[in-house]
């Protein structure tokens, strides 16, 4: 990455700022230094062989019902509708046997390792994680893994996460609810708010912003985490400014302190409670 930074210097004649590629990503996408490096690593990693992620997803789906700890985790997180688990193609990575399964289907070691599915020892990188495939233009472009244990909660393959989650299902709506995580999205879909999508984080990529701008003037409700350290609230304000600059209408949804949409519903909230939060949503100018 340091070599890349040295050879890719940039300069903007409009604002008079210069720097390397990392600095450009920091300024243009409003990301931290670490987030910018992660974004560049994702964008520069070659796509895995055709069909590999489909095979991995199918394998993980088969494992879900075989492992009660994963089913219990989903239930504890508020998943009440089995059809939603099927619709989102949710699976589970128990660890230890993905390499053997894919090798039996003709996939060599190196493509699995380069894709980020296994490590150098052949072990499953998503071990003990609930898996959700991410689609773009009808094909799986990445996998999201949520730890059910003590490991770092979130994991993606080292490549682009694509556009907004389930975009083809929500792109026709003139008003959208934007959440950080896929568990937030699932909680809202399950409660009838099917106009919800996720940026898979608190920052929009250029592609994701262009998707929202397909309908000029679209109203976007930002329902991010209500963090004790105000991180989610600051991210909401930053994103609202960016959306308004792009000609969209942004409204910030305030949930009870300490909650995100997923935990709010898991704590007993109903659709009517969240609807009231939407009614009270405010713009930056209030």
- Note whether residue 285 is domain-resident: no
Domain holding 151, by residue range, is: 52-156
Same domain, 117 and 83: yes
Whether pTM > 0.85 for this model: the answer is no
Question: From first to last of its 286 residues, what are the pLDDT tens digits of the chain?
Answer: 443 444 344 545 455 555 676 777 677 665 667 656 655 655 555 556 669 999 999 999 999 999 999 999 999 888 889 999 999 999 999 998 899 999 999 999 999 999 999 999 999 999 999 999 999 989 999 999 999 999 999 999 998 999 999 999 999 999 999 999 999 999 999 999 999 999 999 999 999 999 999 999 999 999 999 888 888 899 999 999 999 999 999 999 999 999 999 999 999 999 999 999 999 999 987 5
Could you give the angle at which helices 33-44 and 21-29 cross, rounded to 10 degrees? 110
- Number of compact structural domains in the chain: 3
CATH code assigned at 179? 3.40.1360.10
User: C-alpha 59: how far from its chain's center?
Assistant: 21
> In the chain, count of helices (H) and strands (E)?
14, 10
**Is 117 inside a domain boundary?**
yes
What pLDDT does residue 43 have? 58
Write down which residue in 131, 156, 181 finishes a domain.
Answer: 156
The answer on 273 and 173 residing in a single domain is yes
């Amino acid at each position: 990455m340091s070599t890349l930074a040295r050879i890719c210097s940039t300069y903007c004649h409009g604002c008079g700022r210069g720097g390397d590629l990392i600095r450009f990503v920091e300024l243009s996408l409003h990301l931290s230094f670490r987030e910018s490096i992660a974004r560049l690593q994702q964008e520069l990693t070659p796509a895995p062989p055709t069909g590999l992620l489909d095979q991995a997803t199918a394998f993980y789906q088969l494992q879900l019902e075989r492992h009660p700890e994963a089913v219990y985790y989903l239930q504890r997180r508020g998943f009440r509708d089995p059809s939603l688990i099927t619709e989102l193609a949710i699976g589970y990575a128990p660890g230890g046997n993905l390499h053997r399964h894919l090798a039996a289907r003709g996939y060599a070691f190196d493509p699995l390792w380069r894709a980020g599915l296994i490590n150098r020892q052949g072990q499953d990188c998503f071990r003990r994680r609930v898996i959700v495939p991410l689609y773009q233009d009808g094909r799986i472009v990445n996998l999201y893994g949520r730890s059910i244990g003590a490991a770092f909660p979130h994991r993606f393959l080292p490549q682009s996460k694509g556009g907004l989650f389930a975009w083809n299902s929500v792109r026709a709506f003139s008003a959208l609810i934007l959440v950080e995580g896929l568990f937030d999205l699932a909680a809202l879909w399950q409660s009838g708010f099917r106009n919800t999508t996720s940026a898979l984080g608190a920052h929009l990529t250029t592609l994701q912003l262009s998707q929202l701008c397909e309908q000029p003037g679209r109203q976007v409700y930002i329902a991010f985490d209500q963090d004790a350290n105000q991180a989610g609230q600051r991210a909401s304000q930053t994103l609202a400014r960016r959306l308004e600059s792009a000609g969209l209408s942004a409204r910030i949804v305030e949930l009870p302190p300490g909650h995100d949409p997923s935990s709010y519903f898991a704590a007993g909230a109903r659709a009517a409670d969240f609807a009231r939060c939407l009614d009270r949503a405010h713009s930056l100018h209030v």
